[in-house]
Amino acid sequence: MKLSPFALTLTLLPSGPLLADTFERDQALKLPDVLISANRQVEARNDSSAANTVFTRDDIDRLQPDSVTDLLRRVPGVQVAQTGGRGSLPGIYIRGTQSAQSLVLVDGQRIGNSSSGDSNLQHINIEQVERVEVLRGSRSVIYGSDAIGGVIQIFTRRGSEPGLRPQMHVGFGSHQTWERSVNLSGGDEQTRFNLGASLDETAGIDRTHESYPSDSDHDAYRNKSFSISVSHALSDDVEIGANVLDNGGKSEYDNPFGRFDLNTFESVQEQPYNRFDVSSVSSYVDARVNDLWKTRIELGHSENREKTFDKLSDERSVFNTYRDSLNWQNDLTLNESNSLILGGDWYEDRVNSSTAFDENSRWNRAAFIQHRYQADSFSTELGLRRDQNQQFGGQNSWSGTLTLPLNPNNDVLLTYSEGFRAPTFNDLYYPDFSNPDLKPETSKSYELQWRSQLTENSRLEASLYRTDLEDAIIFGSNSRPENVASARINGVEAALKQELFGWQSNLGVAIIDPRDRDSGHTLARRARRTVSLDLDRQFDRLGLGVSWQAVSSSYDDLSNQQPLGGYALLGLRSSWALNREIKLELKVDNLLDKGYSRTLYSHDGSQYGYREEGRAWMFGVTWTPEI
């Protein structure tokens, strides 16, 4: 990972949250019933106003996903549309909003590409992940731009216990896929650390059915990743720390459209691939000033770099974006019923590209405040944020939540929230295809939540919501982006978690109606109905699990002329603990070898679907030696 001088200084600085106990946040990352992302502080999941889903490292080990996007498919209200197998670019749709309208964080740092708006989540290696939190619904008061649909936050691996704890994993599977990783965590009463590295390789699949002969080869993928986390308690009330994540490698892909040659005005065959690097560095200082005041300062740097090549020509293209950031948050406990969050954000985006942009940098600064009142009969949350952006000027965001406890086991929440998304560098500055006068996209959302502890072993969380989008950015007839579109998204989603006869089940259901308000058409690549079910049981040393996911039909275009068929996928998994140190794992995805596609491409006037993986298996061995 190549870091700027600013980023290199971050490893010498600290940041991170502290409550009463040392390493409070690191310990919280291991727990399923707490949440950090909603308000940038540790709180009980049930106390948060955000509809949320949490995956801990234990969940990841049990579910055996091969990527972060594979994990996200299990979240009610979240849809993933990839363009052909492992390592391909995914579209992430939270509650019917598009990828650029949801914020992706790694250890508190924005990692989205500021030129295209893509997050490149497909390159975040799952072996370097400690925890994933997904917030559904706008969180613009806390995070500002891009958090219209929701927030996805990834936390890198953390040390949790004194002493040394090494771990090694090797896996082999279909399409000549290899997974290798090593991890070492440990520390003492004052210092905790985790070091991890991984290498994933696969020969891949041919992602397109009908295209040029040059595209008929399999599209290989290689990803080298490493992560570092260090936290140190200077005292019972002050903690410092730093986190580093770097994912880099090579991804081959098909371009069924070919490359347009301006000299001959013909489409030229390609064998394209890119070398990528997605990285983030964060450091923090976390302190309890007194019994009423906690403060946290974070410095961050992220990079999203991509260089594209073609095996059949000497052409090269470079698209690199960089972001430096600073956040200061203060959590104030005024009394038993009232608490306050006060904070400020600053970040600067920069672009270095082989394409000459009219502008290649811009800054954003913001201040926010959120008040929470809690009583026995009800509680409220009211927030306001003011963003000032170098390009689009000022933007205010409001949110408010009323929580009514019906009884000790049932809560009802009513929420109103506003959101916005700043135009990307491509929208504003891309030569001949941009519009520097664009305004931010804005949203207003209304939500009714019901949270119920049905029985001791059963919990239901359900949401009914509506989101109105205005000034949505689309490409007009002049091939330039314009603020002309508006959309209305109605939806209902539910998550049921229960244990029955020793089986742990997680059921997620979502029904949405996402429509363009002008044409009445369904928004592209949004299925109206999705279902996800995971069943797991542990029989002493043997673990068994099954996954089932069903997605209804959708359209690949806004005019609803290009249908995409629905599909259902079945997967099986198992694990066997040979002893306290060695565990064997075996999984089979898409057991019934279902052929399906979530996106289309054009070739010779016809429409074809990008091919997704059929039946695939993976066998792995994990060794955790005791020292």
Written in H, E and C, the secondary structure of 413-431 is: EEEEEEEEECCCHHHHHCC
Rounded distance, CA 538 to CA 541, Å? 7
Query: Around 281, how many Cα atoms within 13 Å sit in the side-chain half-sphere?
Result: 19
pLDDT of amino acid 350: 95
Burial of 296 (0-12, 13-18, 19+ CB in 10 A): buried
Question: What are the two backbone dihedrals, phi and then psi, of residue 47, each rounded to the nearest 5 degrees?
Answer: -85, -10
Contacts of 539 (CB under 8 A, 6+ apart): none
**Amino acid, single-letter form, for residue 585:** E
pLDDT computed for residue 346 by the predictor? 97
Predicted TM-score of the model (pTM)? 0.93
Backbone angles phi, psi at 24, to 5 degrees: -60, -40
- Residue 13: per-residue pLDDT: 39
Single-letter amino acid, residue 342: L
Q: What are 504's strand-pairing partners?
A: 499, 536
State the residue range of the domain holding 381.
5-623
Q: Report d(CA 310, CA 522) in Å as an integer.
A: 36
Between CA 37 and CA 69 the distance in angstroms is 18
Q: How far apart are CA 524 and CA 558, in angstroms?
A: 5
Q: Which residues pair with 380 in a beta bridge?
A: 373, 402
**Residue 335 contacts by C-beta under 8 Å, 6 or more apart in sequence?**
none
Long-range CB pairs of 29-32 (<8 Å, 24+ gap) are: 29/56, 29/130, 29/131, 29/155, 29/158, 30/56, 30/57, 30/58, 30/130, 30/131, 30/158, 30/160, 31/56, 32/56, 32/58, 32/59
| Residue 375 backbone dihedrals phi, psi, to 5 degrees | -130, 175
- Sequence-distant (≥ 6) Cβ neighbours of residue 226 within 8 angstroms: 128, 195, 196, 197, 198, 244, 245, 246
Judged on CB neighbours under 10 Å (0-12, 13-18, 19+), 33 is exposed
Cβ-based neighbours of 195, under 8 Å, separated by 6 or more = 183, 184, 185, 226, 227, 228
Q: Which pLDDT does position 213 carry in this prediction?
A: 73
Q: Give the total number of structural domains in the chain.
A: 1
Please work out, in degrees rounded to the nearest 5, the angle formed at the alpha carbon of residue 157 by the alpha carbons of 156 and 163: 150
In this predicted structure, what is the pLDDT of residue 3? 47
Instruction: Say how many C-beta atoms besides its own lie within 10 A of residue 99's C-beta.
Output: 23
- Residues of the chain falling short of pLDDT 70: 1-22, 212, 258-268, 476-477
Tell me the one-letter amino acid at 283.
S
Write the CATH number for 163.
Answer: 2.40.170.20
Query: Token match 């019933």: residue?
Result: 33
∠517-82-420 over CA atoms, to 5°? 40
Cβ pair 254, 225 in contact under 8 A: no
Contact 229, 243 (CB under 8 A): yes
d(CA 205, CA 175): 7
- For residues 496 and 490, the answer to whether their CB atoms sit within 8 Å is no
The answer to whether 25 and 286 are in contact (CB under 8 A) is yes
- Closest among 379, 491, 431, 418 to 49, alpha carbons compared: 379
